[in-house]
Chain A
Amino acid sequence: MKTLYEGLELGKATRDAYGEALRDLGRRHDDIVVLDADLAVSTRSAFFGEEFPDRFFNVGIQEANLVGVASGLASSGKVPFISSFACFVILKGFDQLRMAVSYPRLNVKVVGSHGGISPGEDGASQQAVEDVALACSLPDFVVCVPSDEYQTRAAVEAAYAHEGPVYIRTGRPKAPLIYDGVPADFAFGRATLVREGGDATIIANGIMVGAAIVAHERLLRDGIRVRVLDMATVKPLDEEAVRLAARETGAIVTAEEHLIHGGLGARVAQVVCRDHPVPMEFVGLDDTYAESGDPGALLRKYGLTADDIEAAVRRVLERRRSMV
């Protein structure tokens, strides 16, 4: 993994940051209840469970019931955080998220770990590549894919402060550090400018922000100055930041560890095409599942590295030139 993010330090996995942030939050707020479906050790919700056993329920391998119980707790005034792998809690719990959380707008926080293909060796059945699209399709859901340990901590705090359903996707491997501390200005629906530039914009989230920064540095050597936005919140999208990127830089590349249909890229494209059409390229999985393998090797094989983002930026610039 480290070789994928030259010049960036690897921090903790975002799932580790989630576990720690949740435990800290639990110390300050008695109304937080945490549920897991037999993956507490992996999602790191066990950190909370060890300290607050009376507010922690492991419901066993039952994702539908996991969501339903959280719904009942939320409508009784609790603030449940529920965790499992992203693919299981979102896909197996989807109708329950629709009927028992989204529809009645209940205050349930869903945290799916092992997002994207970087879980690696376990193979495609454990890799969530469609969770963000599904979560975004649920009315009133906030959907957030934090990029590093510090932003994850901020997102967990914001999830508690927000009244309503939230989905946060965390990852299994160590994530490249984007920030040097918990960002004080983090808010759902607000993009973070992580690198300035006026020639094009890369809009990324999750571990793809690290890859975008590497691509930014490489392009800089060729005199190409690319803006990088950390778009942790896919919904609600920071539409103003997207419009500004389109207007000021004239070309956009999105990068996500997810299918390119229905996730960050699709949502950005909706705004671009409505408000300020400019050429776009999409880095992500194109209508495919991945497979088993070392996370770094997988990200390379499926086109989710700085190399792929760099190539996409060059393509989008070429397309813009040919349009003029």
Chain B
Amino acid sequence: MGEAAPARERDRLTYERLRDRATVLRRHIVQMLAEAKSGHPGGSLSAVEIVTALYFGDILRYDPGRPGWPDRDRFILSKGHGVPVQYAALAEAGFFPVEELMSLRKIDSRLQGHPVLGATPGIEASTGSLGQGLSIGLGMALAAKMDGRDYRVFVLLGDGECQEGQVWEAAMAAGHFRPDNLIAIVDYNKYQLDGAVSEILDLEPFAAKWESMGWAVREIDGHDLVQVVQGLEWTIAESGPACVIAHTVKGKGVSFMEGENAYHGVAPTDEELARALGELEGALIRAEQSIEREAAAEKEAGR
């Protein structure tokens, strides 16, 4: 491997591989939720590309063998109900065996229904009571500065979650203390449990709210991996707190769940699982081939 290429010049295979990773994560999500017979598919699926880019797009610095490595980047899933997507990524990244994913929500499992610090390798904060992750992330970002460490803290928030007052307490405080290592990502999938965000309690003008509190803001298509990777790279380069508003589709990747809010907190039945897996199947074959192709190419390059 030579020097890292700028994002826009990354080769097609990198993005193809990332897309395939995303499909693998989606497969895990629907399988885990069907097995658990409960959970939140919609907000897990909408965040797949964001989480894929973080873990597999050379954004997060981590070592699955050392989850407590002091210089690791932190990722906090503040929208804790979306945790299946993070568990899937952590398993694929090697933090724990992929087979363990099927223990989600079961008795004695390390994979609790919402993230729990200390229970699962790679989980950085206990969330599930919405609105808290950005404050915790701010504390971590300030600790890095005090210790002279250069790790970054990424916090993924839900759009409905941004109705919580604490989010704006933290946003205002970050705008004041200005840590350049704190990054907020909003999974703006337009729906919350009871319906459309715009109808229940509209966030707009949303970007302006963050900007008014001293954040640099970019809006992206949260399912376009090129935009997601480039957006996250932009946040890292920013000199103060930066926010990416990722426009997404709830339930993305499973046709009958897309934009269908009934799947906010209802797991797929066995029949629905079969349908979902059928839809993802073609892409999954491509994923495996792609990864094999890349592995072969890397092997060749190594010679």
Q: Are A99 and B124 in contact (CB under 8 A)?
A: no
A70 to B136, CA, bound (A): 7
Closest B residue to A78 using CB positions: B143
A138 in the interface (beta carbon within 8 A): no
Partner of A105, one of B118, B131, B142: B118
A68 to B169, CA, bound (A): 10
Given A59-B173, A68-B135, A104 and B143 touching (CB < 8 A)?
Answer: no
Closest B residue to A103 using CB positions: B126
A71 in the interface (beta carbon within 8 A): yes
Closest B residue to A61 using CB positions: B169
A64 to B176, CA, bound (A): 17
Among residues 20 to 77 in chain A, which have CB atoms less than 8 Å away from a CB atom of chain B? 33, 54-55, 57, 59-60, 62, 64-65, 67-77
Partner of B117, one of A65, A69, A75, A95: A75
Given A71-B136, A96-B132, A76 and B143 touching (CB < 8 A)?
Answer: yes
A283 in the interface (beta carbon within 8 A): no
A108 to B135, CA, bound (A): 14
Residues of B within 8 A of A106 (CB): 117
Q: Are A72 and B140 in contact (CB under 8 A)?
A: yes
Q: Could you tell me the dominant secondary structure of chain A's interface residues?
A: helix
Closest B residue to A63 using CB positions: B169
Q: Are B140 and A76 in contact (CB under 8 A)?
A: yes
Given A96-B166, A100-B125, A72 and B173 touching (CB < 8 A)?
Answer: no
Residues of B within 8 A of A68 (CB): 132, 134-136, 138-139, 166, 170
A178 to B151, CA, bound (A): 48
Nearest Cβ on chain B to A75's Cβ, whole angstroms: 7
A68 to B137, CA, bound (A): 8
Q: Are A69 and B173 in contact (CB under 8 A)?
A: yes
Residues of A within 8 A of B134 (CB): 68
Q: Are A77 and B177 in contact (CB under 8 A)?
A: no
Residues of B within 8 A of A95 (CB): 129, 132
Q: Are B128 and A73 in contact (CB under 8 A)?
A: no
Q: Are A64 and B136 in contact (CB under 8 A)?
A: no
Closest A residue to B119 using CB positions: A104
Q: Are A71 and B143 in contact (CB under 8 A)?
A: no
Residues of A within 8 A of B125 (CB): 71-72, 75, 100, 104
Nearest Cβ on chain B to A47's Cβ, whole angstroms: 20
A218 to B29, CA, bound (A): 71
B283 in the interface (beta carbon within 8 A): no
Closest B residue to A104 using CB positions: B117
Q: Are B166 and A100 in contact (CB under 8 A)?
A: no
Q: Are A57 and B143 in contact (CB under 8 A)?
A: no
Chain B: interface size category: 20 to 34
Partner of B146, one of A33, A59, A62, A75: A33
Q: Are A103 and B116 in contact (CB under 8 A)?
A: yes
Residues of B within 8 A of A65 (CB): 135, 138, 166, 169-170, 173
B86 in the interface (beta carbon within 8 A): no
A292 to B139, CA, bound (A): 37
A98 to B134, CA, bound (A): 16
Q: Are B173 and A60 in contact (CB under 8 A)?
A: yes
Nearest Cβ on chain B to A96's Cβ, whole angstroms: 6
Residues of A within 8 A of B170 (CB): 65, 68-69
B93 in the interface (beta carbon within 8 A): no
Nearest Cβ on chain A to B142's Cβ, whole angstroms: 7
Q: Are A104 and B116 in contact (CB under 8 A)?
A: yes
Partner of A99, one of B118, B129, B137, B139: B129
Closest A residue to B136 using CB positions: A72
A80 to B138, CA, bound (A): 14
Residues of A within 8 A of B177 (CB): 57
Closest A residue to B131 using CB positions: A64
Residues of B within 8 A of A70 (CB): 139
Output the residue of B118, B125, B137 with the most chain A CB within 10 A: B125
B266 in the interface (beta carbon within 8 A): no
Partner of B132, one of A62, A75, A80, A99: A99
Q: Are B135 and A71 in contact (CB under 8 A)?
A: yes
Partner of A69, one of B70, B131, B139, B146: B139
B98 in the interface (beta carbon within 8 A): no
A302 to B134, CA, bound (A): 42
Partner of B139, one of A60, A76, A98: A76
Given A64-B135, A65-B173, A103-B116, A72 and B143 touching (CB < 8 A)?
Answer: yes
Partner of A73, one of B70, B116, B143: B143
Q: Are B126 and A57 in contact (CB under 8 A)?
A: no
Q: Are A75 and B140 in contact (CB under 8 A)?
A: yes
Residues of A within 8 A of B169 (CB): 59, 62, 64-65
Nearest Cβ on chain A to B150's Cβ, whole angstroms: 13
Residues of B within 8 A of A74 (CB): 139
Q: Are A76 and B173 in contact (CB under 8 A)?
A: no
Residues of A within 8 A of B118 (CB): 104-105
Residues of B within 8 A of A78 (CB): 143, 146
* Beyond A72-B136, A73-B139, A106-B117, 12 extra complex contacts between A and B, CB < 8 Å: A59-B169, A68-B135, A69-B170, A71-B125, A72-B135, A72-B139, A75-B140, A76-B144, A77-B147, A78-B146, A96-B132, A96-B135
Binding site for B on A (CB under 8 A): 33, 54-55, 57, 59-60, 62, 64-65, 67-78, 80, 95-96, 98-100, 103-106
Q: Which 5 A-B pairs have CB atoms at the shortest separation, nearest pair first?
A: A72-B139, A68-B135, A76-B143, A65-B169, A104-B117
A to B CB contacts below 8 Å, 6 in the list: A33-B143, A65-B166, A67-B135, A69-B142, A72-B125, A95-B132
Binding site for A on B (CB under 8 A): 70, 116-118, 124-129, 131-132, 134-144, 146-147, 153, 165-166, 169-170, 172-173, 176-177
